[in-house]
Amino acid sequence: MGQFVVAGGRPLAGTFAVSGSKNAALPILAATTLVAAPVTLKGVPLGLLDVRHMLAMLRELGVRVATAGPDSVTVDARGPLSPDLPDAYTRTMRASVFLMGPVLARLGRVTVSRPGGCNIGPRPIDLHVKGLAALSVRFADGPGGHIVGEAARLKGAVTYLDFPSVGATENVMMAAVAADGTTVIENAAREPEVVDLAQFLNARGAAVHGAGTDRIWIEGGRTLSGGTYELIPDRIEAGTVAVAAALTGGDVTMSHVIPEHLTPLWRKLSEMGAVVELGSTTVRVSAAGALRAASLRTGPHPGFPTDLQPLMLALMTQARGCSTLVETVFENRLRHALELRRMGANVLTDGRMAVIYGPTPLEGAVVEATDLRAGAALMVAGLAAQGRTTVLGAEMVARGYQDWAQRLQSLGASVTLEP
């Protein structure tokens, strides 16, 4: 397990080019297995561990994968594929579950190990299974803690998601593309990454309508063709840098951003006293004066993104007054609060709620990344702390942030990655 060592007290300044979106890349890479022709994806964050794991899993299934540039990959799924998702990846990367729909669509069968929990909650796949079952997939328990899904033919249907799950929406959408007839997903997730998947599928010849709303309908059975597609930027990476600029009293301009993907963040940062300037594909964030306390509640898009909740909690430790934060999406996504207390933060948690009194001076300490966004938050807190902060679990952060130490250094941060 590597560690990041951060020397605090230096405001971030300069320009930052945002990578392609991890959470668009993972489902779209899975969706390439639906296409019996080569597909080239651009804007793929190939430096991320999760993306590398997804590419390795595709190769193990029989898909040909070739790098086509620093952030581009060509995928050819024409050959015979295996229905067995490799345990090595399904146990460590939840996004493996995105392959269930496409593999069922191609082969009529899929085997997957039950997903382990993770640090932010149990994260079952019951909504994925229920949605795919609506399309005539029959699931049964297989040997060794596996689930087996089978369907002679996928049949379009109306399915309702008890919770607007991003992954379940994407899984059902991909399966529905290959189903006979029309599928309607009610209470669908509305995240920009869901929209990007729909746009990728439609660029291949599919007929996905309503993505970005809570009712998506898909006319199945279209022939899909190969081609080239560029992913959207990573809004969570952009949000992470924006909070880092505000927390360090810096001034950073981010490029390769779709500002409307993060409206809730820009509003909240402005409310807290940061200066946010939105361009068409850029955002500039600066904070010279004191920050003001605020209240925050995460929620499914267009609500405040849960993935930026840890970053906002770190920011609130430096805001004047009493801030409150409620995490409504995941059951156990406040563990970074305890790590921030080690650095001197005055934060109390109870269940899904945190109360933060600020500003409190942060001191460098040894802390641990409990999930990838928590790790990013602890690094950002370290940038504002006095002294050195060591964030254990660098691999966790590398799942979602590529070349992270170097890219923060380019903004003036003192960050090193140690083995």
What is the total count of residues that contact ligand EPZ (CB under 6 A)?
A: 25
Site for ligand EPZ in 380-419 (CB under 6 A): 400
The active-site residue out of 36, 56, 81, 118 is 118
In terms of CB distance, is 200 or 330 closer to ligand EPZ? 330
In terms of CB distance, is 45 or 364 closer to ligand EPZ? 45
Q: Which two tokens stand for residue 25?
A: 């890349």
Task: Let me know how many helices (H) and strands (E) the chain has, helices first.
Answer: 14, 24
In terms of CB distance, is 251 or 307 closer to ligand EPZ? 307
What strand order describes the sheet that includes 207-209? 158-160, 182-186, 215-219, 207-209
Cα–Cα nearest to 376, from 194, 242, 192: 242
CB of 36 to ligand EPZ, least distance (A): 25
Rounded Cα distance, 229 and 344, in Å? 46
In terms of CB distance, is 14 or 163 closer to ligand EPZ? 163
Among 125, 208, 238, 257, binds ligand EPZ (CB under 6 A): 125
* Spatial contact of 109 and 148, defined as CB atoms under 8 Å apart: yes
Strand partners, 353: 326, 350
Measured from each CB, the residue nearest to ligand EPZ is 167
Rounded Cα distance, 346 and 402, in Å? 31
> For the chain, how far is it from start to end, CA to CA, in angstroms?
7
CB of 358 to ligand EPZ, least distance (A): 25
CB of 344 to ligand EPZ, least distance (A): 26
Rounded Cα distance, 199 and 181, in Å? 20
CB of 301 to ligand EPZ, least distance (A): 7
- The answer to whether 166 contacts ligand EPZ (rule: CB under 6 A) is yes
Among 206, 372, 385, 408, binds ligand EPZ (CB under 6 A): 372
Q: Which span sits near ligand EPZ by CB under 6 A: 165-173, 245-253, 257-265, 318-326?
A: 165-173
CB of 227 to ligand EPZ, least distance (A): 23
Q: Which span sits near ligand EPZ by CB under 6 A: 125-133, 172-180, 203-211, 266-274?
A: 125-133
- The answer to whether 373 contacts ligand EPZ (rule: CB under 6 A) is yes
CB atoms within 10 A of CB 149: 24
Rounded (10°) CA dihedral 48, 53, 56, 61: -140
Site for ligand EPZ in 275-304 (CB under 6 A): none
118 catalytically annotated: yes
Strand partners, 416: 5
Among 196, 237, 251, 307, binds ligand EPZ (CB under 6 A): 307
- The answer to whether 370 contacts ligand EPZ (rule: CB under 6 A) is no
Cis peptide before 361 (omega within 30 of 0): no
DSSP 118: B
- The answer to whether 123 contacts ligand EPZ (rule: CB under 6 A) is yes
Among 69, 124, 303, 351, binds ligand EPZ (CB under 6 A): 124
CB atoms within 10 A of CB 296: 22
CB atoms within 10 A of CB 94: 18
CB atoms within 10 A of CB 126: 11
Strand partners, 30: none
In terms of CB distance, is 123 or 388 closer to ligand EPZ? 123
- The answer to whether 121 contacts ligand EPZ (rule: CB under 6 A) is yes
Alpha helix segments (H runs only) across 142-274: 166-177, 192-203, 235-247, 263-271
- The answer to whether 96 contacts ligand EPZ (rule: CB under 6 A) is no
CB of 116 to ligand EPZ, least distance (A): 12
User: What angle, 0 to 180 degrees and rounded to 10, lies between the N-to-C axes of helices 166-177 and 126-133?
Assistant: 20
In terms of CB distance, is 251 or 327 closer to ligand EPZ? 327
Q: List, by residue number, the catalytic residues.
A: 118
Enumerate binding residues for ligand EPZ (CB under 6 A): 22-23, 26, 94-95, 121, 123-128, 163, 165-168, 193, 306-307, 329-330, 372-373, 400
